[in-house]
Amino acid sequence: MFEILRELCCLDATSGNEDAVKNYIIEKIAPYCEYRVDNLGNIIAFKKGEKTPEKRLVIDAHMDEVGLIITSVTDGGFLKFKTVGGIDTAVLMSRKVMINGEIPGVITAKPIHLLEKEEAKKLPKADSLCIDIGANSKDAAQEKISLGDRAVIASDYIEAGDKILSKALDDRIGCAVLITLLKEDSEYDFYATFSVQEEVGLRGARTAVFAVNPDSAIVVEATTAADIADVPSEKRVCVQGEGAVISFMDNATVYDRKYYNAALNSGIKCQPKSAVAGGNNSGAIHLNREGVRTVSVSVPCRYIHSASSVADKGDIKSVLDMVRELKNGILGGKYD
């Protein structure tokens, strides 16, 4: 699974432009399940198990990642951009980016030496940042790129002890977990959706879940871990090394309480998400048609939405174990 995760993280797939990840996933899962791709680009997979359950379950992970979209070119040949998904301006400063997966750029700003003292203490306005691609004129830049081209913040994939540091752990971890489950034999039939456009408003999951029309859903995600220096324990949300994170509520969803309790009582290493913060595809999924019983299982992830997000391998294993356990429990009618 970790080799798959590494390969997934090294692919670029900003929201609405998920082809690279989509094609990779299809190649991996094709021998093990039926699948189709819907109009938005969601992969909807069906895994035939030993038994066909009465209820229908979907397990979801999103393929897209936060990134940048090129909006204009200045006379000097610098690229203006908007963020795709929520990115803190601080993690954009002097960053290497990759445009269309092949053209490197650097996010440039006025050096602090040339700023007034008070100005130097504040981040520049996001819309004042530009990408430098080493083109010395507007024409030279436009030969290389087009408006609407996408960029991601470049990163290395680093494994250090139990930790993994990379861009896009949110939510390639979820994708790697789903691929792993589809490759295994399953007791019950189930559906898996690899969805698009999560970072721009939970959009892909809405159409994918309409198509599947499930009774229950498990959303596999990465969530903010604020277990870092200078953050008091009540604000940490979750802690790395303490296992899968199970949500009772976030800004988009109130989760199914029976599933929540079942997860916490499963004996698999886990922790409640101790904050009402963020949101994920559950927000779209649980409101599908007449409603879907939904549970969210997440990996605690530090520095999420940056090029250096950090996750713990043990937590990722716990998430895989938990999703498998809940899948079998839900489809076996254990929590009805």
Give the active site residues: 198
Please state, in angstroms and rounded to a whole number, the distance separating the CA atoms of residues 240 and 226.
9
- Which string of x and - marks every residue 277-306 that binds another protein (by CB under 8 A)? xx-----------------------xxxxx
Q: Any residues with CB less than 8 A from the CB of 47 and at least 6 apart, and which?
A: 32, 33, 181, 182, 186, 189, 190, 191, 192
Q: Any residues with CB less than 8 A from the CB of 308 and at least 6 apart, and which?
A: 91, 155, 165, 166, 167
Please state, in angstroms and rounded to a whole number, the distance separating the CA atoms of residues 14 and 151.
8
- Which string of x and - marks every residue 79-108 that binds another protein (by CB under 8 A)? -------x-x-xx-xxxx------xxxxxx
- Which string of x and - marks every residue 14-53 that binds another protein (by CB under 8 A)? ----------------------------------------
- Residue 68 has which token pair? 């940048």
Q: Give the residue, chosen from 44, 310, 316, 323, that forms a contact with another protein under the rule CB under 8 A.
A: 310
Based on the shown chain and the rule CB under 8 A, indicate whether residue 149 belongs to the binding site for another protein: no
Collapsing DSSP states into helix, strand and coil, what is residue 205? helix
Please state, in angstroms and rounded to a whole number, the distance separating the CA atoms of residues 281 and 149.
25
- Which string of x and - marks every residue 230-269 that binds another protein (by CB under 8 A)? xx---x-x---x----------------------------
Q: Using the minimum distance from each CB to another protein, give the nearer residue, 132 or 189.
A: 132
Smallest gap from Cβ 333 to another protein, in A, equals: 36
Based on the shown chain and the rule CB under 8 A, indicate whether residue 130 belongs to the binding site for another protein: yes
Q: Please answer whether residues 79 and 145 qualify as being in contact, where contact means their C-beta atoms are separated by less than 8 angstroms.
A: yes
Smallest gap from Cβ 121 to another protein, in A, equals: 5
- Sign for the pseudo-dihedral over CA of 53, 319, 239, 266: positive
Q: Please answer whether residues 84 and 76 qualify as being in contact, where contact means their C-beta atoms are separated by less than 8 angstroms.
A: no
Site residues (CB under 8 A) for another protein? 74, 76, 78, 86, 88, 90-91, 93-96, 103-114, 120-124, 128, 130, 132-136, 140, 144, 156, 158, 160-161, 163, 165, 224-231, 235, 237, 241, 275, 277-278, 302-308, 310
